[in-house]
Amino acid sequence: MDTLHDVIAKLVNLQAVLKEIYDIEQCNKRLPEHIQRMRSGIEPEKNEIDACTSELNENETRRGQLALELKELQDRIQDISRRMNSVSKSRELEAVEHEFSAANDKINDCKRQDSELRSRNEFLVRHLDGLKPDYEQQLGKIEAEEARIRAEIAENQLRIEALRKERENMVVGIDIPTLTRFEKIVNSKNGIGIVQVINDSCDGCHMRIPPQMIGRVKRSQELVTCLHCSRILYL
């Protein structure tokens, strides 16, 4: 059966593996955040391009509707003109002329709306032509960086799997309660769960260790943790 001194030696060796796993996992968490920050940097340009494109499409749809309305009105004008030629009574002629005038006003209104929309769309196209090159260049860089990061994360994951297999071999001889306690400390203390006492101070938090506690560490009869950072201590 392993002595406490043997267990501590195993924990020290195990920590190197667990620390590397911890560091890689933290790196894998930071990498997507890096991409998100890069994408956030071009979000205003993207939103403006999307808004302009959406307005452009809506305007083109409306122009299509106006073209149909204009065709209907022009057909109505032709029909009214034919009826005007066949009307003899002044009251009927007045009504048809009023109908003709109303239809003609609607035609002019359709043409006015279409002209305004055409001018607006010409502006939007020029504006988009000015925005897109720089945005697409930045987006291309981000997508290239994303591809690199995906490859790095995949490579990191392979390394983690190899380290976890190595861990399985290293925990032999360490009792479950001690191992569970140690790994909990590692995960809560940035990958460092066991530290040496150097010059009567904890090498983890650099706080002074009371003499009585140092005596307990020397006797190696129990696992002693730092009063300040809760890491396991050894000499």
Per-residue pLDDT tens digits of the chain, which is 235 residues long:
578 889 999 999 999 999 999 999 999 999 999 999 999 999 999 999 999 999 999 999 999 999 999 999 999 999 888 887 777 677 777 788 888 899 999 999 999 999 999 999 999 999 999 999 999 999 999 999 999 999 999 999 999 999 999 999 999 989 999 999 999 999 999 999 999 999 999 999 999 999 999 999 999 889 999 999 999 999 9
CB 108 within 8 A of CB 66: no
> Structural domain of residue 126, as residue ranges?
33-172
The answer to the question of residue 221 being in a domain is no
pLDDT at 80: 84
If one counts the domains in the chain, the total is 1
Do 31 and 149 form a contact (C-beta atoms < 8 A)?
yes
Question: Does residue 120 sit within a domain?
Answer: yes
Residue 181 lies in a domain: no
Q: Residue 92's closest CA among 78, 103, 104, 80?
A: 80
**In what order do the strands lie in the sheet containing 232-234?**
201-202, 194-198, 232-234
Predicted pLDDT at 202: 96
Does the residue 7 lie in any domain? no
- What's the CATH code of the domain at 97? 1.10.287
Residue 65 lies in a domain: yes
The pLDDT score that the predictor gives to residue 84 is 79
161's tokens: 């799997």
Distance CA 206, CA 186 (A): 17
Distance CA 203, CA 224 (A): 14
Q: Is residue 92 part of a domain?
A: yes
Please indicate, yes or no, if residue 58 is contained in any of the structural domains.
Answer: yes
User: Which tokens hold the place of 28?
Assistant: 């894998």
Task: State residue 225 phi and psi, 5-degree precision.
Answer: -110, 150
Report yes or no on 134 lying in a domain: yes
119/115 Cα distance (integer angstroms) = 6
Do residues 20 and 166 touch, judged by C-beta distance below 8 A?
no
At residue 191, the pLDDT reads: 94
